[in-house]
A and B are shown apart, each in its own frame.
Chain A
Amino acid sequence: MSTKEWPLWEVFIRSKQGLNHKHVGSLRAADSTMALDNARDVYTRRSEGISIWVVESNYVHANDPADADAYFEPSDTKIFRHPTFYEVHEDIKHM
């Protein structure tokens, strides 16, 4: 026995003012109102959040993990992007 499934939603929760929303998991719901209500019941039963975003999972695009090494390589080789790359005279303060 099977029926057409409700769409899958990804759930993001802001735990308190000043912090960003963070992915916590997913759930199925017929529409966004139901997805929000279910997210509240499933993911915030112990004051874990003060704000919820739900996004239909089809709208999430991701890079291919198989190519991740090459994809992120440019940032690994540019060590001059980090302040520790530069020599500063030890008498210099506040820099």
Chain B
Amino acid sequence: MKVLETTDLEQKFQDKIDREVKIEPNDWMPDAYRKTLIRQMSQHAHSEIVGMLPEANWITRAPNLRRKAVLLAKVQDEAGHGLYLYSATETLGADREATIDDLHSGKAKYSSIFNYPALSWADIGAIGWLVDGAAIMNQVALCRCSYGPYARAMVKICKEESFHQRQGYELLTTLAQGAPEQKELAQDALNRFWWPALMMFGPNDDESPNSAQSMRWKIKRLTNDELRQNFIDATVPQAELIGLKVPDENLKWNEETGHYDFTPINWDEFWQVVNGNGPCNKQRVDARRKAKEEGMWVREAALAFAEKRKKKLTA
């Protein structure tokens, strides 16, 4: 068999991508493709897990049993989503514990939205509606990602996540129709979560140098700005319907473009939060680190027990 040159392999790889053939774990792929995916998928996994923290904090304070059961199910889903994504990342040869240690050391990032606190019960509604809503916008596009295991995980996650958005919107709708104080809570939550939710899509396209390559590899299907605009267009009427005001004085429907115009985003805040200076960065990573360290003995004991039992069975 003729030994293929790397450039030949790269050409064949790009041809496959162009023909919409999915890439599977043991297929040849360029190192940079593998690295990009490992970075993106592990950060996605970390976001699912860290995202459990602000919500889990409210489970015991849910106002009734229905809301409590719903929130519990949502947080459990997020754990599952983290697991699908860690497993999919492992198919690329990434070491799971090493990727988690990268989160704990601060080397790996996660969605900066989770560095904002959930201050009131209404925030649980805003998180479901806006944060999960933005995540779904992004994840629906990722269902067609060129890497098979990532795309499959996204299909499953999207199916499960649509309830997350609905329960959040329903929660805020209830508050918005309640007493003036309740409506105020809902409006306050929207005020605080609107801009961070828009930042979830990442920097503007002209400030996002890796986007073009990710689009060529069909890891990304839509640009950051396209996804953000889709999200705004979908979400503004939802806010209006329940009588809440989106906190942007320049927000205006543009007949000509068929989209909403909006104020440019304050990227200083975004980079401050990404680089560790958000309200809760330290708290979130500390909680994850503590969970691993304090749970370590359980994991070691389970393994020791399994090995002992295996020995007994084979003896």
Contacts and interface: CB of A to CB of B under 8 A. Distances in A.
Contacts of A27: 83, 87
A2 B83 CA distance: 18
Nearest to B77: A45
Interface string B25-57: 011100000000000000000000000000000
B28 A66 contact: yes
Interface residues of A, number: 22
A30 B303 contact: yes
Interface in A23-46: 25-28, 30-31, 34, 41-42, 45-46
A92 interface: no
B26 A65 contact: yes
Contacts, number: 61
A93 to B, nearest CB: 41
Interface stretch (B95-103, B164-172, B188-196, B273-281): B95-103
Interface in A20-73: 25-28, 30-31, 34, 41-42, 45-46, 62, 64-66
A30 B293 contact: no
B104 A1 contact: yes
A62 B91 CA distance: 14
A64 B24 CA distance: 12
Main secondary structure of the interface of B (DSSP, over half): helix
Given A25-B84, A27-B83, A2 B96 contact: no
Nearest to B9: A66
A94 interface: no
Contact of A45 (B80, B87, B296, B306): B80
Nearest to A38: B83
B153 interface: yes
Given A6-B303, A42-B83, A62-B26, A28 B296 contact: no
The 4 closest A-B pairs by CB, nearest first: A31-B306, A30-B302, A30-B306, A26-B87
Interface of B: 24, 26-28, 73, 76-77, 80, 83-84, 87-88, 90-91, 96-98, 101, 104, 152-153, 160, 292-293, 296, 299-300, 302-303, 305-306, 309-310
Interface of A: 1-6, 8, 25-28, 30-31, 34, 41-42, 45-46, 62, 64-66
Given A3-B97, A31-B309, 14 more contacts: A1-B296, A4-B303, A6-B302, A25-B87, A25-B153, A26-B87, A26-B90, A27-B87, A30-B299, A42-B84, A45-B73, A45-B77, A45-B80, A65-B28
